[in-house]
Amino acid sequence: MLARQVGRHNVTVNGLLPGRFDTGQLRANLAFAAGQAGRAPEDEAERARAEVPAGRFGHPDEFGVACALLRGAGAWFLTGQNIVLDGGAFPGLL
């Protein structure tokens, strides 16, 4: 709704929906989950990576590139969208 209200003023409203990105917080969460499950943190990370069709976690720079894309002049007509950045984990177009 907001995107429709402000679009005429050259304002775009979009959402970036990140999956698992290789950050300190993700590593801490995986270490905690590993401890709860009695596994090594490396094994927990490998298990989590295997759930991502891309076979890896996103790199924070990749999120930055998506932000820059949405902010760029070439994206002025893109509004009211949610963009999923998750390496294919969400089964939207499978």
User: What are the structural domains, with CATH classification, of the chain?
Assistant: 2-85 (3.40.50.720)
Q: What is the pTM of this model?
A: 0.84
Query: Which are the contacts of 42, defined by CB distance < 8 A and separation ≥ 6?
Result: none
CA dist 12 → 8, 24, 84 (Å): 9, 30, 17
**Chain segment 9-52, per-residue pLDDT in tens:** 989 999 999 999 999 999 999 999 999 999 999 999 999 999 99
